[in-house]
Structure 1
């Protein structure tokens, strides 16, 4: 999946028209966990990309402010232009960033760096984002670059790709014993299966693989 904005910006963040005297009451139900999820309606917008069992590449240009920044953190990879603008902007409105950032950012941004960005609400560019590890790489056309990567991934065994996403998203939060057990369990489920056999055969026969999905 390539996630991108429809226009000149990725996402400008919160719609300020919601700020009226009734907005806390209007959004009370939306703050409750959604059925079958630990996340509420707003958190799902970012967390859902981690739950989808295929890679998600975010292509960012223009601005990714507030909620837009948090949605991008839910992706597996983030490609950006050097001049794109980012901000954890919620403090500007007297709020905290609450779209799953406590789960999506933990393996992307160092805690002290995240606090600095969130406490200040400052705007930073793609070059800064790369140096902090917020984005994966910089490109003049991040959408085109993301599509190239997506095409390359699509040529790999879908079973292996799903297994790796599960391992990386879950294993990093486990203790050593549980993480190693998860590796072994996923690998055992792949070995000898049709797509794994096809991957070996295609490589040995020097031909494109034909996977079932």
Structure 2
């Protein structure tokens, strides 16, 4: 695993941290692959009862590092191809892998939570943010559509008009607004500590029941995520390739 995603195990918790603080945890292709590997690593530890996702430095994540990703168009295409059994590509699995886990995943968010960083947070089961966190479904600012499973997770959390508003404007929103529309779970001055407290409450319950509840809601809330992922890829790939070719000229 690379240097920009760290995984730490402590008792019955796994702590996964985005660790590229100088770039506000801007996501590279390597980081996305490492997030997939991190989720698999957590899944192998049967004693883990909760996962806490954080970002080191001033922000949770400013989203996909477009300049770094577009420097290698062939790598984008390779990572964009879906896995036949999973139905997700690397961009999508970096988020959806956390939904596949049997244990609750809590994102502790601060600073910027933009684009792909927001999609990772949305794939967690719970999101706790500082009062000053900023959020943006910012793909439209780059001539793209929301991806990385964002359409699927947004449809589970907020109304379709709000989802369209966020996606079409790419406007940043504050924490109060995010809480009001259901994008986040709670606000706390210290979201990491609040995440620990929530993990305490959940892990006090039966592990099997918690896992069953997670999968029950995830599998029944909205149907058709696989079809959504395919539609997402069809919309996004030509846009990404256009950006990559334009930057290489």
TM range (shorter): 0.7 to 0.9
| 1:8 corresponds to 2:58 | yes
The residue aligned with 1:195 is none
The residue aligned with 2:211 is 162
Deviation, structure 1 residue 94: 1.1
| 1:27 corresponds to 2:73 | no
1 CA distance for matches of 2:57 and 2:166? 26
Are the structure 2 counterparts of residues 36 and 83 from structure 1 closer, same or farther at C-alpha, using a change threshold of 3 Å?
same
23-32 vs 154-163, greater mean Cα deviation: 23-32
Could you say which structure has the larger radius of gyration?
Answer: 1
1 CA distance for matches of 2:60 and 2:82? 26
Deviation, structure 1 residue 82: 1.5
The residue aligned with 1:39 is 88
2 CA distance for matches of 1:153 and 1:15? 34
1:107 partner SS: helix
1:83 touches 1:127 (CA, 8 Å); kept in 2?
Answer: no
1 CA distance for matches of 2:84 and 2:90? 10
Paired residues for 1:1-213 under 5 Å: 1-18=51-68, 20=70, 23-34=72-83, 36-173=85-222
2 CA distance for matches of 1:85 and 1:107? 21
2 CA distance for matches of 1:53 and 1:143? 21
1:47 touches 1:104 (CA, 8 Å); kept in 2?
Answer: no
Q: Please give the TM-score of this superposition, normalised by the length of structure 1.
A: 0.77
1 CA distance for matches of 2:190 and 2:168? 31
2:157 partner SS: coil
Q: Structure 1: where are the runs of 5+ without partners? A: 175-213
2 CA distance for matches of 1:94 and 1:18? 17
1:131 partner SS: helix
Deviation, structure 1 residue 30: 0.8
2 CA distance for matches of 1:36 and 1:53? 19
69-78 vs 94-103, greater mean Cα deviation: 94-103
Deviations 1:152-190 (A, max 9, x none): 21121101101111111112236xxxxxxxxxxxxxxxx
